[in-house]
A = this chain, B = another copy of it.
């Protein structure tokens, strides 16, 4: 169905939902070989469909330019040949990952005679709500397919034609591999009511994963009637302990801030133990300044670093996503962990120390999705962690936490193997 043919959005969404739910039962029983065959077909069809993808994308870009979208948005929207390559490569990589579904573990005998274990199973139907990057359509569909989930995808209206063109390759690939086309539903209306419907249909959608700006994610989390896997902010900290190796501290703190400025695992606040602030900060401050990083410090930091401007209270709660860094000198580990508890977004924190006891306390007590010792926060990433690919990073504690790969898209049920046992 095309956008202009959909008049009753609620009925249309309910239909898509019913189809997705039915398809998810077929996907649950699909073998690894069937799912991989579909992924390879999809990659093949994306490759064969390059000219159609480029045409559709050109229509989106033209419409976007006519609507006056800014350059950054138009850039995100563009499907260059290189981005199509990366999209195809991503699908092939997911085909090569191990299938998490059906794994049985912890199967133990009980005194009653039954054996009790756990089996990894798909979540069911995953709803993805995303903004302008059309490559998300293929990435998300492939991850969900491999983990045995049906998908309902709602992309940004500015990428409508591109998303539909990608969806057409995906659905043909599914059918050619003997799986239902309805396993990947791409919402074909740009009506915003579709989003409201998606986040409130627990009978058809088991979990929503929003990808996009903080405003979108906050709105969806507030209104959703189903669980949401999300992260809002990445306010990440590096704490340089009194017993830090100065060279490791320099390298980690520099890399965590400057390797890329716009990513969620970039450090936004550096905490330094007062005992080493005067030896650590001057060299580090000079290196930041040389790279054009603006420094905002506590009074003690400003005493040590002439280049630092005074930080305000707001700085400690800000994700700059820019060459700006706040720096605070603290009295020790407890004050550092208090600062983190008060200001972190629960994404990633790292301690630099040679102290076994303080490393152990930091690992245990800091309540973030990734907690590190002597490593750059920039490592918090599904590829770096060996998950193969990620659908997002969760800063929630419930269900999946940290980078979410195939396993995060599954659930675990109990299985019981008996021989006619009854309970007495």
**Which residues of A are interface residues toward B (Cβ below 8 A)?**
25, 28-29, 102, 108, 110, 112, 114, 116, 119, 121, 123-124, 206-207, 227, 245, 247-248, 251-252, 254-256, 259, 341, 350, 352, 361, 363-365, 367-376, 378-380, 384-386, 397-399, 401-403, 411-424
Contact = CB atoms under 8 A, between A and B. Distances in A.
A376 to B, nearest CB: 5
A152 B72 CA distance: 47
Given A373-B416, A374-B421, A379-B416, 5 more contacts: A114-B372, A116-B385, A227-B398, A254-B422, A255-B422
Nearest to A418: B375
A391 to B, nearest CB: 15
A397 B124 contact: yes
22 contacts: A28-B364, A28-B365, A29-B361, A102-B364, A108-B386, A114-B379, A119-B371, A206-B398, A207-B398, A227-B227, A251-B420, A352-B420, A367-B413, A368-B413, A371-B413, A371-B414, A372-B418, A375-B418, A376-B421, A376-B422, A379-B423, A398-B399
A402 B413 contact: yes
B401 A413 contact: yes
Nearest to A26: B365
B374 A418 contact: yes
Given A112-B384, A206-B398, A28 B374 contact: no
Contacts of A29: 361, 364-365
Given A251-B422, A255-B423, A419-B248, A398 B413 contact: no
B28 A415 contact: no
A206 to B, nearest CB: 6
B371 A415 contact: yes
B372 A416 contact: yes
Copies of the polypeptide in the assembly: 2
Contacts of A121: 364, 367, 397
The secondary structure that dominates the A interface is: mixed
A116 B371 CA distance: 10
Given A398-B206, A411-B398, A423-B259, A417 B375 contact: yes
A191 to B, nearest CB: 26
Nearest to A248: B420
A233 to B, nearest CB: 15
A207 B397 CA distance: 10
Contacts of A412: 401
Contacts of A368: 413
A142 to B, nearest CB: 21
Most buried by B among A254, A368, A369, A423: A423
A380 B25 CA distance: 24
A386 B414 CA distance: 12
A414 B399 contact: no
Nearest to A402: B414
Nearest to A403: B414
A356 B86 CA distance: 43
B245 A116 contact: no
Please list the 6 inter-chain residue pairs (A to B) with the smallest Cβ-Cβ separation, ordered nearest first. Answer: A375-B418, A248-B420, A255-B422, A372-B416, A378-B423, A397-B411
Contacts of A424: 259
